[in-house]
Amino acid sequence: MSKQILKPVIRLTTCGSVDDGKSTLIGRLLVETDSIPHDTVASARNIRRGGSTIAAGEIDFSLLTDGLEAEREQGITIDVAYRSMSLLNGSRLIIADAPGHEQYTRNMAVAASRSDVALVLIDAARGVRPQTLRHLTICALMGVSRVAIVINKLDIFDYSQEKFNEITKSIEGAVSRLKIKDHAFIPVSALAGDNVVHKGANLDWFTGPTLLEYIQNQNLEIDTMTSPHFSIQYISRVGTFRGLAGTLVNGTFSVGDQVTVLPGKNQATISKMITFDGELSTASHGQTLNILLEPEVDAARGDVLHLASNQVIPADRFTANLVWLSESELIHSRSYLLISGSTTTPAIVTSIRHRINPEFGEKDSVKVLKMNEIAEVEIATDIAIALTNYDVSRETGNFILVDRSTLNTVAAGMVVHALRRSANITEQRYEVSAQSRADQKGQTGKVIWLTGLSGSGKSTIANEVAKELFASGRHAYVLDGDNLRLGLNKDLGFSKAGRAENVRRVSEVAKLMLDAGLIVIVALVSPFRVDRDQARELFKPGEFIEVWINTPPELCAARDPKGLYQKAASGELQNLTGVGQEYEPPLNAELVIDGTVDIAINTEKLMEVAK
């Protein structure tokens, strides 16, 4: 058996619907444990929210956890407010008062992702609400190990045991479905103080613990039986010294241990471990240190060290639970940045297996995810990374997705398990290279990507350039958007997700044709900048040439070679690019073509870049 280490810091998140009384409850908990400065408490006796009914001179406990003026004006918690207090067992308790409004569920999810204990609050007058169940679901997905389900405002019902039992029964099914084993139902009155810190005579029928007793009579420990994990945050170099700097989680490392550097799978032995306080023979969970390896194998930021005897197998396909945090929809087949610890890699959501209904647990079939929705998805990363199952380790099984254009965090993810599909696939190297094939044809292979509105002239120009290249003895092929939708992409629609997958498939085909040594001309609306940028990343510098056919929308509509603008005007076509769906012009295209000038002039310009 491995050693169990008591956590020095316990994290508690509070969640519930708006006006359930979270801030009041936590404020009272802090005041009655003398964890708030006295001058702050005095201020809470004199300041009142709009519409407050608290008597003059009494403490408005809810003010003690609000950090934004906007929160006080609206009477709701927007941001996550943090407070700390000491527990009798010697641990420090960090309290995160998470927002209750549905709009700010993402803030609550972030708080829960780091918490050991969750406090899910229910207003006895309102009962179990959809937001209550959403919060409970997120706590379960985020791996919160203990949950206190606190039924507040029982003073309204004269502290009725029957009311408490009724509400308890209404949520027991969800607790069972979510497999929350360590939980407790606790009746309280945050306003009067009953059963928060002290029992109180009003709830003498309840034989369980007070809220404070439940929190501090816990046994949250680190299980070092899981595989130790050291994520390299940076390489420290001073003279001949080369250390791997990072933080150790989930166990211990000792000098002499043989470790594997993932994903490269290089093996070495730990020769030294150095901290600011000196050298260590053994390092444990949470320690930040420099590790020296013998021999000095190749290792970089984002790589991870595992014990060679118990290493994680890197993978590039994962099933994961995803909480979507962005106001913009999740578009599968679009590239995002996946960040886990110090590891960053491009990734795409290849499929949404199902959306999870937090109210009743149904698994709904959907094509997109909207803000605050939860789903099980499949994710593919560009490189193999060493992620563990989230139920094994929260530290090494979590990730976030970041929008590549805005760099905003759009999702929080928890790995269910790695998909071993790629483990059975090995890239086959052939002796005849892409360069050899291009040299045989006497040309330089490249991809010329024509983007622009329907009717801008992409296909017409592509046709003329292909004819000129053919006449000059060069080997070229045109990948036309409409032609591909008659075959390879006939299953795709014109939603954002459909267009993202369309671009992805076309770019992969273009890459294969480039490998054959061809000059590839792509004529594709490809309206979204992020999708075109994702296509560009498949190619080496100089191989991908983006060409914007810049034709005024009114001229495109006047040309209307396919009758699409007429259909859009009649309402028959809802998402025509430039009419019902936006078009994002390139910001740094290698070439911009004026679609209003003579076709011969534009053909000549393109022939220059095709050489």
Active centre residues (catalytic): 526
Distance of CA 449 to the CA centre of its chain: 31
Task: Return the number of other C-beta atoms located less than 10 Å from residue 208's C-beta.
Answer: 12
465-480: b or e for each residue (b if 16 or more CB lie within 10 Å)? bbebbeeeebbbebbb
- Which pair of structure tokens corresponds to residue 27? 């404020």
Distance between CA atoms of residues 527 and 451, nearest Å:
7
Distance between CA atoms of residues 335 and 330, nearest Å:
10
Phi-psi region of 578 (alpha: psi -120 to 50; beta: other; left: phi over 0): left
Q: Is 534 helix (H, G, I), strand (E, B) or coil?
A: helix
CA atoms within 13 A on the CB side of 140: 21
Distance between CA atoms of residues 237 and 490, nearest Å:
54
Distance between CA atoms of residues 143 and 255, nearest Å:
32
Q: How far apart are the first and last CA of the chain?
A: 68
Distance between CA atoms of residues 510 and 534, nearest Å:
13
Residue pair 17/47 in contact by the 8 Å Cβ criterion: no
The residue count of the chain comes to: 611
Distance between CA atoms of residues 473 and 432, nearest Å:
22
Distance of CA 1 to the CA centre of its chain: 35
Residue pair 211/196 in contact by the 8 Å Cβ criterion: yes
- Which pair of structure tokens corresponds to residue 419? 């998909």
Residue pair 232/305 in contact by the 8 Å Cβ criterion: yes
Distance between CA atoms of residues 390 and 113, nearest Å:
11
Q: Is 364 helix (H, G, I), strand (E, B) or coil?
A: strand
Distance between CA atoms of residues 586 and 60, nearest Å:
54
* Alpha-carbon distances of 226 from 127, 180, 223, 259, 324, rounded to whole Å: 39, 21, 7, 15, 29
Helix extents (H) in 142-290: 161-177, 211-216
Residue type, 27: G
Alpha-carbon Rg for the chain, nearest whole angstrom, is: 30
Element (H, E) at 373: none
CA atoms within 13 A on the CB side of 220: 27
Distance between CA atoms of residues 252 and 95, nearest Å:
28
DSSP state at residue 297? -
Distance between CA atoms of residues 306 and 325, nearest Å:
31
